[in-house]
Amino acid sequence: MQISYFHVAGDVPEGREPHCAVVIDILRATTTIAWALHNGAQAIETFADLEELKTRASNFPRSSILLLGERGGGKLEGFDLGNSPVAVIPEVVSGKRLFMSTTNGTRALNRVRDVSNLYTMALPNRLGVAKRLIEDRCDELWIIGSGWEGSYSLEDSLAAGALVSKIMNLSTKNISVANDELNSALALWERWENNPEACLRKATHGQRLMSIGNHEADFHCCAQLDQLDIVPTQIESGVLSIDSLQK
């Protein structure tokens, strides 16, 4: 398996697609996605554009859907939820179709939405995603961080290193590190693997979240490792759910 890591969607090469891709947005979109599906959400549709989200959502009965919207770390006016993994509890999301747009994560998903095997990963579902990628026998894997408004983010690189470290531990096949971005991510994980929450708090986005409100529960949730078996999988363009392999 040849693995590359790209800090943000804008770094992803144009004109070709890998066998598999994983999108990461630890603080907080992909953590929210994993917990929402674990807690019974029927599917999650992701959008970079808010008007497109609203148009699509209008095709469904209002009682059957939830709107999740975040910009700059805060919930968007008129939306049901923001972008917090501790808010997507079973009593709220079970059986619902979620329509989601965030500052960074949904843009990264949009960039690689044509990849045939597309997943999202957070630290709580790292092990499940690693196992799935090995089962897929991916020849080439791209991991895409979401960053912050087009710039590098520490926490997404930490998670990329965490994922590839686990793949290397589990796989009996040769793993090839294809770029220095991934070498750096692996080194970052080696530095922080015993205290990932401290890394999340040190990151500039973590500092930003702390400056705009009490996100203690979010930090704790986002830093938990290997708690969930769930593998959010793109089942159609822009739609994440649990596929038949997980049912």
Amino acid sitting at position 216 = E
CATH of the domain at 67: 3.90.1560.10
Residues 140-193 have pLDDT tens digits of 999 999 988 888 999 999 999 999 999 999 999 899 999 999 999 999 999 999
Cα(180)–Cα(106) distance, integer angstroms: 25
Percent of the chain residues topping a pLDDT of 90? 85
Residue 238, in any domain of the structure: no
Q: What is the pLDDT of residue 245?
A: 62
Number of domains in the chain: 1
Q: What is the pLDDT of residue 73?
A: 82
Residue 245, in any domain of the structure: no
Please tell me the pTM assigned to this model.
Answer: 0.95
Amino acid sitting at position 57 = A
The series of mean pLDDT values per 10 residues for the chain, 247 residues long, is 96 93 95 97 94 96 96 91 96 98 84 94 98 95 91 96 98 95 98 97 93 93 96 96 72
The pair of structure tokens assigned to 115 is 């990849």
Residue 107, in any domain of the structure: yes
Residue 85, in any domain of the structure: yes
Q: What is the pLDDT of residue 244?
A: 55
- Contact 120/109 with Cβ under 8 angstroms? yes
Residue 59, in any domain of the structure: yes
The pair of structure tokens assigned to 229 is 């078996």
Phi then psi dihedrals of residue 207, to 5 deg: -60, -40
Q: What is the pLDDT of residue 104?
A: 77
Nearest to 68 by CA among 116, 111, 117, 35: 35
Nearest to 242 by CA among 95, 37, 100: 37
Q: What is the pLDDT of residue 134?
A: 96
Cα(104)–Cα(9) distance, integer angstroms: 9
Q: What is the pLDDT of residue 247?
A: 59
Phi then psi dihedrals of residue 149, to 5 deg: 50, 45
With 0-12 CB in 10 A as exposed, 13-18 as middle and 19+ as buried, what is 136? middle
Q: What is the pLDDT of residue 80?
A: 97
Structural domain harbouring 154:
2-232
Q: What is the pLDDT of residue 105?
A: 75
Residue 243, in any domain of the structure: no
Residue 241, in any domain of the structure: no
Strand partners, 145: 24
